[in-house]
Amino acid sequence: MDIVQSWKTHEAAGGAALTAGESEGRLRVVLVDDETLIRAGLALLLESEPDMVVVGEAGDGRAGVEMVAGLQPDVVVMDVRMPIMDGVTATRILTSEAFNAGGREAIPVLILTTFNEDEAVHAALRAGASGFILKNSAPRILASAIRALAGGAGWLDPSVTHKLLEEFSNRPEPLLPTPAELDMLTRREREVLAAIARGMNNADVAGKLFMSEATVKTHVHRILMKLGVADRAQAVAVAYRLGLVKPDGRG
């Protein structure tokens, strides 16, 4: 099914936000895209999934942030290029400690874009996005990506994954993460990174930091994306190299 196929059917239905009662038991999704046809097509795709429901739609990043604050969905699907506020800026706000005051877990953001743009991929993932797919892949993988993010995992379009790993493998040492890049991590993410650098597994980290293993998994995924590294081992190496933890276990 094409993203915009049968969009008039969805438009006639309204697309208004649903109450918690109406969406109970299903994954609640907010769509943020400035193209009405794309939003309608995405909503139509998700309407066929019995375990998820679109609870709200917004046409720009600022409106999306406000909607997410009010609705507290399970996953946000966010376009990159929009007027008023772009998707990267909106994602940075949604995943910030200020937006999630009181220790509330950040709502995962799935980034959508038309093209495989390296700059957009890097900016969005380092802003805290949990996943990234191309719009032409959405008919096949959107629902699976949303389920993965809701379960605490990440999701990268295969073409994006290949390019990111290729870039990392070709990086000279001076282009590896710097102390400034470490500053992109939230306080909680730094705590999780320090814990895994000391050899803790997800269960150990969960017990030490009083969070669920799913939450730990989400933090680890965001750490990898923000630092631009491929796996936990590389993240641990970064933690030691930048002094987040010391070889003697301090830090």
**For 88-99, what is each residue's pLDDT tens digit?**
999 999 988 889
Q: What is the DSSP letter of 247?
A: T
Please provide the DSSP assignment of 58-93 as one string.
ESSHHHHHHHHHHH--SEEEEESS-SSS-HHHHHHH
The model's pTM: 0.67
What's the pLDDT score for residue 162?
A: 54
The 8-class DSSP code of residue 142 comes to: H
- Tell me which residues of the chain have a pLDDT lower than 70: 1-24, 103, 115-118, 158-181, 230, 233, 246-251
Do 145 and 131 meet the contact criterion of CB atoms below 8 Å apart? Answer: yes
Task: Give me the pLDDT at residue 118, please.
Answer: 62
Distance from chain centroid for Cα 32: 13
Please compute Rg for the chain using Cα positions.
18
- The whole-angstrom separation of Cα 56 and Cα 71 is 8
Q: What pLDDT does 132 receive?
A: 83
102-155 pLDDT, tens digit each: 767 889 999 987 765 667 777 777 788 888 888 888 888 899 999 988 887 778
- The pLDDT value given to residue 36: 92
- pLDDT reported for residue 161: 56
Instruction: Supply the pLDDT for residue 40.
Output: 93
